[in-house]
Structure 1
Amino acid sequence: MSTSAVQSSQGETTAKAGKLRYLLILGGLSALAPFSIDMYLPALPRMSSDLQASDAALQFTLSAFIIGLAAGQLVAGPLSDSFGRRKPLLAGLVLYSLAVALCAMSPSIGVLIAARMLQAFGAAAGIVIARAVVRDLFSGRQMTKFFSTLLLVSGIGPVLAPVLGGQLLRLTSWRGVFVVQALFGVLLLIAVLSMLPESLSADRHRPARLGATLRTYGRLLADRGFLGYALAGGLMFAGLFAYVSASSFVLQGFYGLNPQQYSLVFGANGVGIVLAGQLNGLLVNRFPERRLLAAGLAIGTVGGVGVLVAGVLSLPLAALLVPLFCQVSMIGLVMPNATSLALAGQPDHAGAASALMGVAQFTIGALATPLVGIDGVPMGAVMAGFALTALIVFVTVARARRARA
């Protein structure tokens, strides 16, 4: 073999190794929030009695986490545009690890709620900066494909987290679940320190001024294309949070599943997200992202309506699980395309744009959480309503863009 062939082969191997490193680290950062949410869901009934708190109060620990994610992204996104990606990311991971340790030691529901909000504020840096790093490195369909592949790694969090949480409850209390989350945060901190280089060159740093940041947010909110894709993804994502918030009570309380059975059902829906994401990565070479986004929103709406019908008619568990799987799995088709389309025109403000996308997702999710109650009817109504609204927003934006063209 010639020297040039050997060098080419070595170059390809190095490139693949680098891409795999990015996938693992960015996937772990993207999974930090769902991992932190989903792992403790099987423990909610036990936490209610241990902390002498109502189901509504326990659900507010989820709402507080979502609010913290939204607020944290608004801060971390612009900071990453000003100081680079690594410094705000490292600060966020340190805050996350300390806050989750406080969760494990919480003596009351009030302390737990406050600690969860701080934990989310730290986790927000992982989510928003991971998206910004992808935008720094890729563009066009390559960006969409990378976001789809990223779901293969980040989707492991929602799949394994409830299963791991259910199994941990066999060995320890709910406090031990938070100890495991703290260890995960420390591992990510070490990985970022040692293996994730800075992706935003110094000449692309933006001034760290409040006025400039607010003007950037204003321009993004005035961009109808960005706003439409961000809202479509955010509304669909809110349906997922409705499911996350109510599913523990619906499946364990109404249908009688134990924590381990519930964690398996939750994990199966997570597998659906991963599979849909990988399918999207294959289809994006043949179909435009907008068409794939439309298909995901339409199927998700049909699934949400099916969940509502199952709740209204009190149908057997199987009749609920099938449309639930369809609705939840479409996250894997919707989010890569919505994210890529929204960030495509924002190369110079990827952090701020990623932050606004996250705010749309988690703020709407926080509003959805108190609406779902603890039975199947409100859960199905909220999931169907948000999916349908997302489809309407997308169609409206698509028509407006065609008319301007």
Structure 2
Amino acid sequence: MQPAPDRKAGPLFIVVLGSITAFLPLSLHIFFPALPDVKAEFMTTEAVVNLTVSLPLFVMAFASLFYGSLSDRYGRRPVLLGSIALFVAGSVCAALTENIWLLIAGRVLQAAGGGGGLGLARAIARDVFGADRLVKVISYLTMAYALGPMISAPIGGALVDYGGWRAVLVVAGAFGAFLGLICWRVMFETHTNRAAAGVRFSLIHDYRSLFSNLKFSAYVLQSGFSTGVFFTMAAATSFLMIEYLGRPASEFGLFFIAFPAGFISGSIISSRFAGRVAPEKMVLMGSIILMTASLTQAGFLFAGIVTPLTIFLPGYFAILAQGISLPNAQSGAIIVAGPLAGTGSGIGVFVQLLAAATFTQIYGLMADGTPFPMAAIVSVSAVLALVMGVIPCLLDRREAAR
């Protein structure tokens, strides 16, 4: 009989779990500084280049649904290792291409693999640490999630400046291969009670069961809209900094650190209040800050005050707000999901990435070389996040009044 997972979850296991969490954002954000160079080399439009980000996000979103359900049935470890192998194959294909559409196809293959990491890491955390410690653990994992872009944006900018955009894909693939080897050696199976999941394996039934819960839906939609704010800023700011303001890619990478730094700050705040403040209240607080910061940024940009400071300082507080709300929304959704934790986690990732891809591509279609499309999209997404953030508090208040 396999030992209880929590007795085997030593420091190295936690580090690996954090690396799995950072895997997806690193693979995404390391490519952002390359977008202008890709556009120039293939002589294409901003909307087409954005497909290298938005289309992979859509694929990651749908892949995460299947990874979550497959891991509920077959276990976390084999599904995780398979997803990493697929990511490495996509990285190789994308790095070797001479055609924009083949590059997009390689990025899609990357995404099909990368969609497994984030959701599976949360499900593994649920298996190992249980509901009582989940908020705090996921707060720490979200810090690792933020370290991905914090490390990858400067690295990506430097690689683009000194090695070209293909070097970005080579480094991403090498990291994936290294992580896969470590997971193969260290990661043990955490989902040992799979008999019931196998008997009840029905995607449509499970999805209907979870989405019929209004609190679960509100949590995952709030996560989606807040993530949409971040990805819209991430896609837009590379063009604003490099093309609109004429700054080098390496400088963009340094300014971009403000976003993951804000996310880490928010995650620290979330971990400090874990167990003392109800998750739904933390989600509401984060949603309010997110909307305030996003509208402040939009005010500067619509007023014509466009500088790195007016872009990234309000952006820092917007992403700080996401760092506060996201761990609590994720934990709330997984706890509500109960025995369908893997499926619930997969749905959470799906909604996040679907919203991110949708808002990113909307930006690509609206982009006109000015900061105004970003300001408008971010404002709408932040307002929708607040609407979703209010619902769990209202539901709890109604239940308490009964």
> Does the 8 Å contact 1:22/1:196 carry over to 2?
yes
In structure 2, the CA distance between the partners of 1:286 and 1:209, relative to structure 1 (3 Å rule), is closer
Q: What is the CA–CA distance in structure 2 between the aligned matches of 1:17 and 1:378, rounded to whole Å?
A: 49
Unaligned runs of 5+ in 1: 1-14
Q: What is the CA–CA distance in structure 2 between the aligned matches of 1:254 and 1:19, rounded to whole Å?
A: 48
Q: What is the CA–CA distance in structure 2 between the aligned matches of 1:209 and 1:402, rounded to whole Å?
A: 33
Question: TM-score, normalization: structure 1?
Answer: 0.92
Q: How does 1:359-398 map to 2 (within 5 A)?
A: 359-372=350-363, 373=367, 374-398=369-393
Which of 23, 28, 39 is equivalent to 2:19? 28
Q: What is the CA–CA distance in structure 1 between the aligned matches of 2:60 and 2:130, rounded to whole Å?
A: 26
Q: What is the CA–CA distance in structure 2 between the aligned matches of 1:38 and 1:163, rounded to whole Å?
A: 10
Q: What is the CA–CA distance in structure 2 between the aligned matches of 1:60 and 1:203, rounded to whole Å?
A: 38
Which residue in the other structure is 2:93 paired with? 102
Which residue in the other structure is 2:348 paired with? 357
Moved more, 267-276 or 394-403: 394-403
Q: CA deviation at 1:202?
A: 4.1
Q: What is the CA–CA distance in structure 2 between the aligned matches of 1:16 and 1:277, rounded to whole Å?
A: 26
Q: CA deviation at 1:181?
A: 0.4
> Does the 8 Å contact 1:232/1:338 carry over to 2?
yes
Moved more, 351-360 or 15-24: 15-24
Q: How does 1:1-400 map to 2 (within 5 A)?
A: 18-204=9-195, 206-207=197-198, 212-317=202-307, 318-372=309-363, 373=367, 374-400=369-395
Q: What is the CA–CA distance in structure 1 between the aligned matches of 2:246 and 2:7, rounded to whole Å?
A: 46
Q: How many percent of aligned residue pairs carry the same amino acid?
A: 25
Q: What is the CA–CA distance in structure 2 between the aligned matches of 1:395 and 1:274, rounded to whole Å?
A: 23
Q: What is the CA–CA distance in structure 2 between the aligned matches of 1:147 and 1:219, rounded to whole Å?
A: 24
> Does the 8 Å contact 2:280/2:392 carry over to 1?
no
In structure 2, the CA distance between the partners of 1:251 and 1:171, relative to structure 1 (3 Å rule), is closer
Q: What is the CA–CA distance in structure 1 between the aligned matches of 2:399 and 2:227, rounded to whole Å?
A: 28
Q: What is the CA–CA distance in structure 2 between the aligned matches of 1:144 and 1:183, rounded to whole Å?
A: 32
* Aligned AA (1:312): F
Q: CA deviation at 1:362?
A: 0.9
Partner of 1:181, secondary structure, is helix
In structure 2, the CA distance between the partners of 1:249 and 1:194, relative to structure 1 (3 Å rule), is same
In structure 2, the CA distance between the partners of 1:127 and 1:390, relative to structure 1 (3 Å rule), is same
> Does the 8 Å contact 2:90/2:107 carry over to 1?
yes
> Does the 8 Å contact 2:215/2:391 carry over to 1?
no
Which residue in the other structure is 1:8 paired with? none
Q: Give CA deviations for 1:345-395 in whole Å, capped at 9, x if unaligned.
A: 223111110111111111111111122225321111111211111111221
Q: What is the CA–CA distance in structure 2 between the aligned matches of 1:141 and 1:86, rounded to whole Å?
A: 23
> Does the 8 Å contact 1:84/1:202 carry over to 2?
no
> Does the 8 Å contact 1:225/1:401 carry over to 2?
no
In structure 2, the CA distance between the partners of 1:342 and 1:209, relative to structure 1 (3 Å rule), is closer
Moved more, 72-81 or 244-253: 244-253
Partner of 1:314, secondary structure, is coil
Q: CA deviation at 1:140?
A: 3.7
* Aligned AA (2:69): P
Moved more, 368-377 or 265-274: 368-377
Which residue in the other structure is 1:11 paired with? none
Moved more, 304-313 or 137-146: 137-146
* Aligned AA (1:387): A
> Does the 8 Å contact 2:88/2:176 carry over to 1?
yes
Moved more, 285-294 or 186-195: 285-294
Unaligned runs of 5+ in 2: 1-5
* Aligned AA (2:56): F
* Aligned AA (2:115): A
* Aligned AA (2:393): A
Q: What is the CA–CA distance in structure 2 between the aligned matches of 1:385 and 1:115, rounded to whole Å?
A: 32
Q: What is the CA–CA distance in structure 2 between the aligned matches of 1:119 and 1:261, rounded to whole Å?
A: 27
Q: Give CA deviations for 1:190-231 in whole Å, capped at 9, x if unaligned.
A: 111000110011445522777x22101110010111111111
Moved more, 89-98 or 45-54: 45-54
Partner of 1:257, secondary structure, is coil
Q: What is the CA–CA distance in structure 2 between the aligned matches of 1:61 and 1:18, rounded to whole Å?
A: 37
Q: CA deviation at 1:290?
A: 1.8
> Does the 8 Å contact 1:306/1:324 carry over to 2?
no
Q: What is the CA–CA distance in structure 1 between the aligned matches of 2:305 and 2:123, rounded to whole Å?
A: 43
Which residue in the other structure is 2:3 paired with? none
> Does the 8 Å contact 1:81/1:206 carry over to 2?
yes
Q: CA deviation at 1:141?
A: 4.7
* Aligned AA (1:270): P
Q: CA deviation at 1:18?
A: 3.6
Which residue in the other structure is 1:9 paired with? none
Which residue in the other structure is 1:7 paired with? none
In structure 2, the CA distance between the partners of 1:231 and 1:260, relative to structure 1 (3 Å rule), is same
What RMSD in Å do the two structures reach over aligned CA positions?
Answer: 1.8
- Runs of 4+ residues deviating >6 angstroms: none
Partner of 2:166, secondary structure, is helix
